[in-house]
Amino acid sequence: MSSSSRSKLLDMIGQNEVTRILILFLGLTTSCLVLYKTAYPLQRLEVNNLSSLSSPSLNSSEISPESAKPKISFKEILENASTKNNTVIITTLNQAWAEPKSLFDLFLESFRIGQGTQQLLTHVVVVCLDGKAFQRCSQLHPNCYQIETSETDFSGEKVYNTPDYLKMMWRRIELLTQVLEMGFNFIFTDADIMWLRDPFPRLYPDGDFQMACDRFFGNPFDSDNRVNGGFTYVRSNNRSIEFYKFWHKSRIDYPELHDQDVFNRIKHMPYITKIGVQMRFFDTVYFGGFCQTSRDINLVCTMHANCCIGLEKKLHDLNLVLDDWRNYLSLSEHVQNTTWSVPMKCWED
């Protein structure tokens, strides 16, 4: 065999060997893939399922900030707002009172221009009775909470002593009972009360339950003072909790009365004596209102639009209160004789 023939034969053998090796390699690779798929089918299915669950059809940019924002519990809001001795300032708000230039704006303004009241705003918790009120509150104040109010729409103006008004008042008593049960003391204040001075120095050093008055007759221990539930200071203890539970339960016995009138019915009952709750009542010189205005603007802490029915009348006269207060602050000397511009609209027929 010639040398050229031998060279061609060796080339053919080499090519066949390479081809055989390639075929063997491809066969082994295919076998490994088949074995992998056979051994791990469930694992691949689970990964695919998890991927589909964690990747919703909506893009992340389409998720609203409200849905992504973690909800804060009522207790957490109370904890964030409480003073060192576990005291919070609570008010309630519905849409009618939360509208721009309505009562909530005046309420916040009074804290801003009051003496020693600016720092108290951090301790104010606003309980909103509807979504619109909560939305507006959240734009103006850090401590807002919306409660469930099933079967009743509390968003509109509630005329005094109407059925919806009564439901709103009793929902308030129920809520304040829960606050006491969570271990918080509170000042409850209606949003139609102007805070002109820090009232904490005027709270009684004793007394589980302390309440403002429409008419004060001179004795802070006398439960026959004509009371007003729009401003109360309550310490959390077994006596006050039991008292609030009894108060709320008593609405069943007096279905046509609001919380304040029911309080007047139960305050002399033997069970109240048995509970042992200590009651005190505030002098209107410090905690005044349109029923009995404070006699001394040098001492007044709060001014309430009580004895006044109708949102427009309240707004008119409370704006006058703030005007009187600004005028007072502009003076270099104390006023000797207090002259209020109110009530004006509130006492019109």
Strand order in the sheet with 193-195: 193-195, 302-304, 287-289
- Whole-prediction pTM: 0.78
The answer to whether the CB of 209 falls within 8 A of the CB of 246 is: no
Band the pLDDT of 48: cuts 50, 70, 90.
very low
**DSSP string of 168-221?**
HHHHHHHHHHHHHHTT-EEEEE-TTEEE-B--GGGS-SS-SEEEEEEE--S-TT
The sign of the CA dihedral 199, 200, 205, 206 is: positive
* Of 112, 130, 131, the residue nearest 121 (C-alpha): 112
**CB-facing half-sphere around the CA of 10: CA atoms within 13 A:** 7
Q: CA 90 from chain center: how many Å?
A: 8
CB under 8 Å to 121, separation ≥6 — which residues?
108, 111, 112, 141
159-169 residue pLDDT tens: 444 566 777 78
Report pLDDT for 167: 79
CA angle (129, 133, 135) in 5-degree steps: 125
107-151 residue pLDDT tens: 999 999 999 999 999 999 999 999 999 999 999 999 999 987 666
Burial readout 101-122 (b: 16 or more C-beta within 10 A, e: otherwise):
ebbbbbbbebbeebeebeebbe
The answer to whether the CB of 284 falls within 8 A of the CB of 215 is: yes
Report pLDDT for 163: 66
Strand order in the sheet with 124-128: 144-146, 124-128, 87-93, 185-189, 226-234, 209-215, 279-281
For the chain, what are the domain ranges? 74-347
Band the pLDDT of 348: cuts 50, 70, 90.
confident
The answer to whether the CB of 323 falls within 8 A of the CB of 210 is: no
* Of 78, 74, 100, the residue nearest 89 (C-alpha): 78
Q: CA 302 from chain center: how many Å?
A: 22
Report pLDDT for 11: 53
What is the Cα gyration radius of the chain? 36
Residue 288: in which H helix or E strand, if any?
Answer: strand 287-289
Q: How many residues does the chain have?
A: 349
**CATH number of this structure's domain 74-347:** 3.90.550.10
Residue 29: in which H helix or E strand, if any?
Answer: helix 3-39
**Mean pLDDT lowest among 10-19, 121-130, 315-324:** 10-19
Q: Is the pLDDT of residue 58 over 50?
A: no
Report pLDDT for 273: 95
59-95 residue pLDDT tens: 333 333 444 456 789 999 999 999 999 999 999 999 9
177-197 residue pLDDT tens: 999 999 999 999 999 999 999
Helix, strand, coil abundance in the chain, percent, nearest 5: 50, 15, 35
Amino acid at residue number 232: T
Q: Is the pLDDT of residue 31 over 90?
A: no
